[in-house]
Amino acid sequence: MLPTYLVQRRWHFASLTRNRLVNGATLKNWAPTLAVWGGVLGFAALWLLEPVPTARVDIYQNLPVVGGYWKAKLDQAAQKD
The pLDDT tens digits of the residues spanning 16-61 come to 677 766 677 777 888 899 899 999 999 999 889 888 888 888 888 8
- By the 8 A CB rule, do 16 and 26 touch? yes
Task: Look at residue 12 in the predicted model and tell me its pLDDT.
Answer: 63
∠ CA 15-17-18 to the nearest 5 degrees?
165
Task: Look at residue 38 in the predicted model and tell me its pLDDT.
Answer: 96
How much is the pTM?
A: 0.56
Task: Look at residue 40 in the predicted model and tell me its pLDDT.
Answer: 96
Task: Look at residue 58 in the predicted model and tell me its pLDDT.
Answer: 86
Report strand pairing: 12-13 vs 16-17: antiparallel
The pLDDT tens digits of the residues spanning 53-74 come to 888 888 888 888 888 887 887 7
Task: Look at residue 35 in the predicted model and tell me its pLDDT.
Answer: 95
38 or 2, greater pLDDT = 38
